[in-house]
Chains A and B, each alone.
Chain A
Amino acid sequence: MRMTLAVAVLLALLPLGLPPYAMTLLTEALIMGLFAMSLDLMVGYARLISFGHAAAYGLGAYTCGNILLHTDIPLPLAVPMAGVFSGFIGIGIAWVCTQATGVSFSMLTLALAQLLYAVAFKWTSVTGASDGLAGIPRRPGPFGTTYFSTKIGFYYLTMACLFGSFLFARALVRSPFGAVLRGIRENEAKTLSLGYNTRLYKIAVVAASYILGGLAGALYAPFAGFANTELLFWLLSGQVLIMVIVGGTGTLVGPILGAAFFLLVQQQLSTYTDSWALFFGVIFIAFVLFAPEGILGLARRRRSVRSH
């Protein structure tokens, strides 16, 4: 708890000394961090490996984009609304995908996400098809405040979403509900035989994950002022899975670090080479081989070595 508070204070103070470009990067890192953390709920705690988590992100982004473009609902309300909508769709997606387990589950998540991608490509009136939704505004309010429309205000809104989501997710995995999830992760048959309806639990965690993932997407739309089909594409699903694994699965904090690390490396490498993804691939392989517990695991290992 003390650690969380310290990080919160640090992040809250950062805007005071950072140039606009760094602020943009940091805001994006927090959004991606939230997105990666949402996937960790599924991957790290229930071993539900989703290859289609971009669906949550894209749903959130398109929903929030449409709310902001076509209604007067203020930004701080539009974002959670889009998250909830994404979670609602997530229930349906989970209902279908949890018919299967293991690799089949992963393939179903990929298939459904690609289905949404194809729909977005054709549903011009809602998604703008390949042109996307442009000029998504940060609507002022509530109570007439324009604070959240500013760069710093938007950063704090993002930060609040990330911390709120983190506290929610942590409470969730520490609760008896989380214990059942871990039971599913370790031995689903045994958990089932103990009398738990594991499928319901899985649907619930996917829905929670979609709410948080949708929240991240909902923040991205007004952040970039733009949303298009890329946000539903499998490439993003793959990237966020990499962030989770590089950061450390089943830790919630790890994936946030993984996302920041991913963006940082992308930013640095892409200024030197167009094939930055190739180099990131090497980094990813190195993590899988030598540090399967991810960045957070590495940090913890170092700390425990030092304390001995």
Chain B
Amino acid sequence: MIGLNRRTLLASALASPVVLRHALGDTPIKIGMPVALTGPGGEIGAQMRRGAEFWAKHTNAKGGLLGRPIELVIQDTGGDPAACVRKAQDVVERDGCRLLYGMTYSSEALAVVPKLAEWNAIFMSSVNGDGRLTGSSLVPNFFRANTSGPMGTRAVSLYLRPAAYKGFFAIGMDYAWGHNSIGVFKDEVQRAGKNFIGDVYSPIGTKDFSTYIAKIRQSGADACFIVMQGDDNAAFLSQAKQYRLSDKVQLLTEVVDLNSIAATGEAAVGLIGSSRYSFTFPGEANAEFVEMWKKEYKTVPDTFEGEQWQAGLVLAAGITKAGSIDADKLRPALENIEIDSIKGHVKIRACDHQGEQQGFMVKVVKKEGFDKPIPELISTFAADRVTPGCGKMTYDS
């Protein structure tokens, strides 16, 4: 009798949920997400996390992917590239993730991508802007579903072509993305035959921008291009207001997001910039997404929540097409994949893994029915005008 009991015990141990799940083939698809939840990038990271969680929940409610549920493994990097590499290695080796998501700063993504081949993992970027990720630093397992820095900058410069501004200054965050976007902007300004007066870079996490603002005022520029995000963006914009910078200089920005506008209040009104995503974008798909989002979070989705959702759609389409999350099968499936997203048509190019998509310009306005200023769409550029040539960061025309 005792022997039988032992055997029963052993059998039930073997039939434990973990073992059973394997048998049924519904082991979760684990997606590792090293993301900045603390530090100056924490707000962006929080948006990315919400966007990813919402997508996972939505996908799981519809039966998951390949009949398997999505499971996110989220780790805080604090925005430090070294910590990001370590956390990415953790989720791959410890948690067995073969898909990566997240990574808030481009510097974090640039630090991680050389490791992808060794880990045999696919990384789908949702926010990383640095053009080099799909250029000189491209690796086969990296894909970018979002609007890149050069693409956002290109939209701004296309919008500026007919404008009367003569002299431009630029301020960016002192890391990969800031330098990359301002480099592209400088190139665009000079090719348009206008004057690029100078640029300045503030370290990530800068709180006092007074010296930078003084520099911009003294430069004599009539427009200033801003490449900032998160806390830095909010701090810069509100101090620019205190110093009445916008009275003298038209402020242009590469990323307009609700969070920075909210932190700045009325000061943001009149700001012109490209938008990677806004709830005000046209189209039924976006309207539907905004409604779903409102139901869940009682507010409209912000820039990086929308971008994260789009990255989720691309990834889901790829996994479904490949029938697998194995890098060798998923990679060819993602190449040339086309989806209809909340930002319109998106195609992941095979040549450099960049998502071709439209460019949007918005202006921050006060609108009835909203207690805070919102970005209003003022111009849209076709995908082939804003997406650079394969593997490139600058434009020929």
Using a CB–CB cutoff of 8 Å, the interface residues on chain A facing chain B are 19-21, 24, 121, 129-132, 134-137, 224-228, 230-231, 274
Does B71 sit at the interface, judged by CB under 8 A? no
Q: A24-B93, A225-B85, A228-B81 are in contact. Are A134 and B203 (CB under 8 A)?
A: no
Residue of A nearest to B87 (CB): A270
Contact partner of A230 among B80, B89, B110, B176, CB < 8 A? B80
Q: Do B110 and A131 have beta carbons less than 8 Å apart?
A: yes
Q: Do B82 and A130 have beta carbons less than 8 Å apart?
A: no
- Listed residue (A131, A225, A230) with the most chain B CB atoms within 10 angstroms of its CB: A131
Contact partner of A134 among B76, B83, B89, B114, CB < 8 A? B114
With a CB–CB cut-off of 8 A, which chain A residues contact B86? 224
Q: Do A226 and B82 have beta carbons less than 8 Å apart?
A: yes
Residue of B nearest to A137 (CB): B114
When A and B form their complex, which 4 residue pairs have the shortest distance between CB atoms, in order from nearest?
A135-B114, A21-B93, A131-B107, A21-B94
Given A20-B93, A134-B81, A224-B82: 18 more A-B contacts, CB < 8 Å: A19-B93, A21-B93, A24-B93, A130-B175, A130-B203, A130-B204, A131-B107, A131-B111, A132-B107, A132-B111, A134-B111, A134-B137, A135-B137, A225-B85, A225-B111, A226-B111, A230-B83, A231-B82
With a CB–CB cut-off of 8 A, which chain B residues contact A19? 93
Q: A225-B115, A274-B76 are in contact. Are A230 and B82 (CB under 8 A)?
A: yes
Q: Do B114 and A225 have beta carbons less than 8 Å apart?
A: yes
Does B376 sit at the interface, judged by CB under 8 A? no
| A17 to B: closest C-beta gap in Å | 16
Q: Do A228 and B82 have beta carbons less than 8 Å apart?
A: yes
A-B contact pairs, 29 of them (CB 8 A): A20-B93, A21-B90, A21-B93, A129-B175, A130-B107, A130-B174, A130-B204, A131-B81, A131-B106, A131-B107, A131-B176, A132-B82, A132-B107, A134-B81, A134-B110, A134-B113, A134-B114, A134-B137, A135-B114, A135-B137, A137-B114, A224-B85, A225-B111, A225-B115, A226-B82, A228-B81, A228-B82, A228-B111, A230-B83
| Separation of A28 and B94 alpha carbons in the complex (Å) | 15
The interface bits of chain B over 20-64 (1 if a CB of A lies within 8 angstroms of the residue's CB, else 0) are: 000000000000000000100000000000000000000000000
| A123 to B: closest C-beta gap in Å | 13
- Listed residue (A134, A230, A274) with the most chain B CB atoms within 10 angstroms of its CB: A134
With a CB–CB cut-off of 8 A, which chain A residues contact B82? 132, 224, 226-228, 230-231
Residue of A nearest to B38 (CB): A274
| B166 to A: closest C-beta gap in Å | 30
| Separation of A187 and B86 alpha carbons in the complex (Å) | 44
Residue of B nearest to A124 (CB): B179
| Separation of A121 and B82 alpha carbons in the complex (Å) | 15
| B95 to A: closest C-beta gap in Å | 9
| A113 to B: closest C-beta gap in Å | 17
With a CB–CB cut-off of 8 A, which chain A residues contact B93? 19-21, 24
| A29 to B: closest C-beta gap in Å | 13
Q: Do A132 and B81 have beta carbons less than 8 Å apart?
A: yes
| Separation of A304 and B252 alpha carbons in the complex (Å) | 73
With a CB–CB cut-off of 8 A, which chain B residues contact A224? 82, 85-86
| Separation of A274 and B93 alpha carbons in the complex (Å) | 21
| A298 to B: closest C-beta gap in Å | 29
| B35 to A: closest C-beta gap in Å | 13
With a CB–CB cut-off of 8 A, which chain B residues contact A129? 174-175
Q: Do A24 and B114 have beta carbons less than 8 Å apart?
A: no
With a CB–CB cut-off of 8 A, which chain A residues contact B94? 21
| Separation of A198 and B81 alpha carbons in the complex (Å) | 42
| B176 to A: closest C-beta gap in Å | 5
| B201 to A: closest C-beta gap in Å | 9
| Separation of A121 and B175 alpha carbons in the complex (Å) | 10
Q: A130-B204, A132-B111, A134-B111 are in contact. Are A226 and B90 (CB under 8 A)?
A: no
With a CB–CB cut-off of 8 A, which chain A residues contact B89? 24
| Separation of A226 and B83 alpha carbons in the complex (Å) | 10
| Separation of A277 and B109 alpha carbons in the complex (Å) | 26
| Separation of A42 and B83 alpha carbons in the complex (Å) | 29
Residue of A nearest to B114 (CB): A135
| A199 to B: closest C-beta gap in Å | 36
| Separation of A231 and B86 alpha carbons in the complex (Å) | 14
Taking CB atoms and an 8 Å cut-off, the chain B residues in 89-107 that contact chain A are 89-90, 93-94, 106-107
| Separation of A136 and B81 alpha carbons in the complex (Å) | 14
With a CB–CB cut-off of 8 A, which chain A residues contact B137? 134-135
| Separation of A20 and B90 alpha carbons in the complex (Å) | 10
With a CB–CB cut-off of 8 A, which chain A residues contact B38? 274
With a CB–CB cut-off of 8 A, which chain B residues contact A132? 81-82, 107, 111
With a CB–CB cut-off of 8 A, which chain A residues contact B106? 131
| Separation of A134 and B108 alpha carbons in the complex (Å) | 9
Residue of A nearest to B203 (CB): A130
| B355 to A: closest C-beta gap in Å | 22
| B212 to A: closest C-beta gap in Å | 17
- Listed residue (B93, B111, B204) with the most chain A CB atoms within 10 angstroms of its CB: B111
Taking CB atoms and an 8 Å cut-off, the chain B residues in 305-362 that contact chain A are none
Taking CB atoms and an 8 Å cut-off, the chain B residues in 62-76 that contact chain A are 76
Residue of A nearest to B78 (CB): A274
Residue of A nearest to B106 (CB): A131
| Separation of A135 and B89 alpha carbons in the complex (Å) | 14
Residue of A nearest to B83 (CB): A230
| Separation of A231 and B106 alpha carbons in the complex (Å) | 19
With a CB–CB cut-off of 8 A, which chain A residues contact B80? 228, 230
With a CB–CB cut-off of 8 A, which chain A residues contact B111? 131-132, 134, 225-226, 228
| Separation of A272 and B90 alpha carbons in the complex (Å) | 15
Q: Do A226 and B85 have beta carbons less than 8 Å apart?
A: yes
With a CB–CB cut-off of 8 A, which chain B residues contact A24? 89, 93
Q: Do B175 and A131 have beta carbons less than 8 Å apart?
A: yes
With a CB–CB cut-off of 8 A, which chain B residues contact A274? 38, 76
| A114 to B: closest C-beta gap in Å | 15
| A181 to B: closest C-beta gap in Å | 34
| B184 to A: closest C-beta gap in Å | 17
| Separation of A231 and B110 alpha carbons in the complex (Å) | 18
The interface bits of chain B over 169-210 (1 if a CB of A lies within 8 angstroms of the residue's CB, else 0) are: 000001110000000000000000000000000011000000
